[in-house]
Amino acid sequence: MKLAIKDLSGNPTGELDVTFDVIENGRGTQAVHDTVVAFMAGRRSGTAATKTMGEVNGSGKKPWRQKGTGRARAGSFASPLWRGGGVVHGPQPRDFSKKVNKKVAKLALRKALSERLKAGDILVVESLSLSAPKTKEFTGILSRLGVDGNTTLIVLGGVNESVERASRNVVGVGLAQAQTINTYELLRYDKLVFTRDAFSQVEARLAE
């Protein structure tokens, strides 16, 4: 498979050979599902918490004597039956993360990239540089590339402060680094714009 390489005006300047094996069949679908579920589970805070009877603030004194008052027996102000008392079987802080093997994660990344390639959702530019970190110049590039109006992920080969600052306030545009891009990010956006260097780095990750 070959990909057209464009300049920042949207004009083709050459072609790029896709070196990794594009998945043509249904293989990898379950890996994508497991990886995305694990990613989203890992983003859950898991900080919901309630206090048990032994943790609520208050005196340990018995509210009233056991017998002779005509009222029901009560041994603690922290009783779950009382307002302000402890909670029975309430939520406690927990870790929602799920483990995904490296081979499964790599298969999922390759499957997701293969599907986006076959759908024609990936654009490759020779490089992405701005004369100044200006949002107007950045959105102009997106317009000339034909991806404006879509949610777009820009994948860079390294840190680019000008692009980061210029894209900060553009709705629907995200940035990712080739060395850390994951399956969830590949699937989340309508269009993916890679620099040539970034695409080569992702291919190298898949070849490891």
Domains of the chain: 2-45+102-207 (3.40.1370.10), 50-90 (no CATH)
Q: Tell me, rounded to whole angstroms, the distance of Cα 121 from its chain centroid.
A: 19
Contact 192, 183 (CB under 8 A): no
- State both tokens at 110: 């390759």
Confidence of residue 135 (pLDDT cuts 50, 70, 90): very high
Predicted confidence (pLDDT) at residue 85 exceeds the cutoff of 80: yes
- How many Å apart are CA 153 and CA 147, to the nearest integer? 10
Measured distance CA(156)–CA(167) in Å, rounded = 13
Q: How far is CA 206 from CA 103, 115, 127, in A?
A: 10, 15, 22
CA distance 129 to 127: 6
Beta-ladder partners of 176: 155
- To the question of pTM greater than 0.85 for the whole model, the response is no
For 94-117, the pLDDT digits (tens) are 999 999 999 999 999 999 999 999
Report pLDDT for 2: 86
